[in-house]
Amino acid sequence: MEWERIRKQPEDHVGANLQDYEEYASRFAWSQARALLDGLPNGGINIAFEAVDRHVLAGRGDRLAMRWIGRGDQVRDFSYRALGAQINRFANILAQRGVAKGDRVFSLLGRVPELYVAALGTLKNASVFSPLFSAFGPDPIKARMTIGNAKVLVTSEAFYRRKIEPWRKELASLEYVFLTECSTGLPADTIDLSAALAQASDSFETVWTGPEDMALLHFTSGTTGRPKGVVHVHEAVVAHHITGRLALDLRPDDIFWCTADPGWVTGTSYGIISPLTNGATMIVDQAEFDAERWYRILQDQNVTVWYTAPTAIRMLMKVGAEITRRFDLSKVRYMASVGEPLNPEAVAWSAATFGKPFHDNWWQTETGGIMISNYPSMDVKPGSMGRPLPGIKVGIVERFERGELREITKPMAMGELALRPGWPSMMRAYLNEEERYRKCFAGGWYLTGDLAMRDSEGYYWFVGRADDVIKSAGHLIGPFEVESTLMEHPAVAEAGVIGIPDPTAGEMVKAYVALRNGFEASDALRKELLGHARQRLGPAVAPKDIAFRQNLPKTRSGKIMRRLLKARELGLPEGDISTLESEER
């Protein structure tokens, strides 16, 4: 279906940070973006200093940095000065216990103030912050903390007892566990975070960090093997800051709401760092999605910039536009979306419902920040990711068998989306996996693994993943991790996992299972396997459906052909099956 572009009017340009895309992009240099930040002496730079301290030192300490809204509508406000004091307390807690530069501090928390304090306090201490998705089950948590060599964990007592305590002694590197929401009977070898903060000093000098010092460790899933630990450095703050200005149009007087879960990269890059470096006020809502609550927050908190996900937008569409008439949403001037492609219908719906469209943008855990975006002053083509961020060179490339690459210049020709390396938030490594990292680069390009097209006006269009990674509700799910957990069950001989289209989440995880001798397919066994996966992986990662097969399609080398499973599930052409071994369906 062809969609009319949403043309921007002159009033859409008023006050925008990016007035003229072509002119700005032609003169942009990363050194200019770096100059917008203060830095540390001797060429240093530290994310926490840029996010909070520099505002306090410049006399802006009384500005509201964060308003936290609890599930019961209780409110806690933090000025930049007050947030800085809490950050200093947490940094002191770490330093007093010998947690040093480069040590890994993990968080397993929902949207609570302690998360933001821990993230920035860790960075101020020059330690490395690594957030975990709170809906993960014990297995994904253990795998990521093991890979990351976790020294510190900050979590709630409930999460600890359910997801950490049973295996904690197996992780020798984990020395300190700080707990929130503590009961009177604290678990052994844990520390009450609230009590520790109360006893710590609120004065702390930022530990010097250089641009290439490791700052953030985010995990993303692959099609095979264990999760990948994506390494970002303190220089990434340059990209966090400028992308907030250009792609999200953030200004110091903005009230900004990023609804992303703090366990994923968006929740760190744009749920913590970018709004604070830009001097905005962050809204943080502890509660889960509820359409009426969301609209009430937009209205009552006078939100001006709103950053959310396609899954949430589609859920709002399901509720309908009628509810919006009960709320005054006139203060919202800019809306953006990320996590998965935003379908054209959602863009058109938002333009009709709110009088302005959601602006899609594209990036990855590996890129660390927004790379392609629809901008405030630029026409929106519903369904398009937009145009590259100034300073980012994007191409569509074709891979050949011997590893050569060729850039495709023909409009709307499909190929792999590729970026020229060198931007500040580009990942510096997959932790301890040099070969895996090296394979992401070829011919002077970073290869994203996403298929895309570019039209004659330079807008990019997402086609799909080049591999089998599943994108559900904005979360990347590696099929290997799900398959491995299913095969731990004594009934399962083989497992193959794919993503199938889902109108709300984008994709839903579905598993195909071949049983061991002595086990028979039944509804009871299906429910048992679903429960097993949910308990081990958590509800966000576990399959929503399981189908039994006598055998799964495999190559002659024994690799399960997920592509063929998906083609058969969706009634698509099976393509080349020359490597398929004989099978019984």
351-359, long-range: CB within 8 Å, 24+ apart, which pairs? 351/6, 352/321, 353/321, 353/324, 354/324, 354/329, 356/332, 357/6, 357/382, 358/308, 358/313, 359/247, 359/334, 359/335, 359/386
pLDDT at 582 (0 to 100): 46
For residue 580, the model assigns a pLDDT of 54
pTM: 0.85
CA 232 to chain CA centroid, Å, is 13
Classify residue 448 as exposed, middle or buried by CB count within 10 Å of its CB (0-12, 13-18, 19+): buried
- The Cα–Cα gap between 19 and 395 comes to 24
- Please state the rounded mean pLDDT for residues 87-110: 98
Instruction: Quote the percentage of the chain above a pLDDT of 70.
Output: 96
DSSP H or E run through 169? none
Q: Cα 18 to the chain's mean position, in Å?
A: 25
Provide the pLDDT confidence category of residue 451 given band limits of 50, 70 and 90.
confident
Give pLDDT, residue 553: 85
* pLDDT of residue 190 exceeding 60: yes
d(CA 247, CA 425): 15
The chain-wide mean pLDDT, for the chain, equals: 92
The pLDDT of residue 1 is above 70: no
Question: What does the pLDDT read at residue 248?
Answer: 98
Predicted local confidence at residue 474, as pLDDT: 76
Three-state DSSP at 458 gives: coil
Confidence of residue 533 (pLDDT cuts 50, 70, 90): very high
Q: What is d(CA 88, CA 207) in angstroms, rounded to the nearest whole number?
A: 11
Token readout for 124 is 């101020």
pLDDT reading at 560 higher than 90: no
Give the DSSP H or E segment for 369. Answer: none
Looking at the DSSP assignment, which residues form a beta bridge with residue 583? none
Query: What's the CA gap between 129 and 150, in Å, rounded?
Result: 10
pLDDT at 576: 45
* CA-based nearest residue to 264, from 309, 207, 316, 306: 309
Averaged pLDDT for residues 180-200: 96
Residue 564: per-residue pLDDT: 86
| Closest to 515 in 3D by CA, of 552, 541, 560, 542 | 552
| CB-neighbour burial class of residue 451 (10 A; exposed 0-12, middle 13-18, buried 19+) | middle
Q: What percent of the chain has pLDDT over 90?
A: 74
Q: Which two tokens stand for residue 196?
A: 């520790």
The pLDDT of residue 517: 84
Domains delineated in the chain: 10-454 (3.40.50.12780), 470-570 (3.30.300.30)
pLDDT tens profile 305-351:
999 998 889 889 888 899 999 999 999 999 999 987 788 888 999 99
Range of lowest pLDDT (2-6, 29-33, 531-535): 2-6
Residue 13 has pLDDT above 90, yes or no: no
58: amino acid identity, one letter:
A
**pLDDT tens, position by position, 245-279:** 999 999 999 999 999 988 989 999 999 999 999 99
**DSSP β-ladder status, 429-430 and 228-233:** antiparallel
What's the average model confidence in pLDDT over 386-410?
A: 91
For residue 111, the tally of other CB atoms under 10 A from its CB is 23
Q: Does the structure show a pLDDT above 80 at 545?
A: yes
